[in-house]
Amino acid sequence: MKQVVINADDFGYSLAVNRGVIKAYKDGMVSSTTLMANMPGCIEAIKLANENKDLGVGCHLNITTGKPMTDAKTLVDENGEFYHLAGYKEHRNEMDPKEIYHEWCAQVDFLLSKGVKLTHLDSHHHVHSFSENLTLTQRISDKYQLPVRNCYGIENQVKLSYQRGIVGFDDLMNYAHIRSLDKSYHADQEQCLTEIQAVLDRLQDNQITEFMVHPAFVDETLYFNSSFNVPRIKEVTILCDSAFKKKLQENQVEVIPYPKS
C-alpha cells in the first residue's frame, strides 16, 4: 500500500484561503494543513482547526510574507514587512540567523499557546530547506520534536530526528493543465488527471509521501499579496472531485494525516 499525506499550505493566509482549505478537507481529500501564525486569517484558522479535530495541523514557518511577530529588524523592509521571496534572496546575507530562529519559535509558540496540537513543520516558499537555514531547521525540529517537510532532500543534508516515516515529497498540482486558466477543470479533466497520474506513478510502495497542495478561494489579501492566486480555486475543485478520489483508489493510495509520535 502506498500512503500519502495531502497537505494544504497557507492555512491562515486569509479568510478566503481558510474556506478553500476547509472545503478541500470536508468535501475532498486534504488530510493535513500548515498554518501561518503571522497572517490575517490565523485566528479564524485556529478556530476552524479546533472545530475539525481530524485535520492535521502543522506550522507554516514564514519569513517572506506579512509582518513578523518579533522585533526582527534585519528580516524586514522599510515598511516593517518581511521581504518577499526575491527580496529575501537579495538581502539574505544581511539577515541575522538569530532573528530568524526567534521569529520561527515565536510563530510555533503562538500556535501552541492557542491550543493547536502541531503535527509537523514546513515553511512558506520552502525557506526552511535553503542551505543557509538548514541548521535553524534542525534546531527548530529538535526544540519542538516535530517532523519537517522533506522537500529537496533536506534529510540527506542535515540530521532530522523526528521524521516519523515521512520520506517522499511532491508538488501534486504544479503542472501545465492544472495551473492553466484557459479552461475550467471540468473542461480539461482528462488532461488534469493524466498529470496527477504521472505523480502517482512515482510513488514507492511502503513509503509515506507528502503531497503539497494550495486550495483556496480568492480575496483581496491573497490576490494582491501572492502571485499564485486564482489557480488555487482550481485546486479546490480537483481535490473535491470524485474522479480524483477514484484515481487514488485505483492506484491503491491511502490518504493519511501526518503520523503522530
pLDDT per residue as tens digits for the range 142-175:
999 999 998 877 767 777 887 777 778 999 999 9
Q: Is 220 within the bounds of a domain?
A: yes
Instruction: Give dist(CA 118, CA 138) in Å, integer.
Output: 17
Q: CATH no. for residue 226?
A: 3.20.20.370
Q: Is 260 within the bounds of a domain?
A: no
The model's pTM is: 0.95
Number of compact structural domains in the chain: 1
Q: Is 13 within the bounds of a domain?
A: yes
Q: Is 169 within the bounds of a domain?
A: yes
pLDDT score of 38: 98
The pLDDT tens digits of the residues spanning 5-30 come to: 999 999 999 999 999 999 999 999 99
End-to-end CA distance of the chain: 21
Q: Is 70 within the bounds of a domain?
A: yes
Instruction: Give dist(CA 143, CA 124) in Å, integer.
Output: 20
Q: Is 261 within the bounds of a domain?
A: no
Q: Is 248 within the bounds of a domain?
A: yes
User: How many Cα neighbours within 13 Å face the side chain of 75?
Assistant: 22
Range of the domain at 174: 2-255
Q: Is 207 within the bounds of a domain?
A: yes
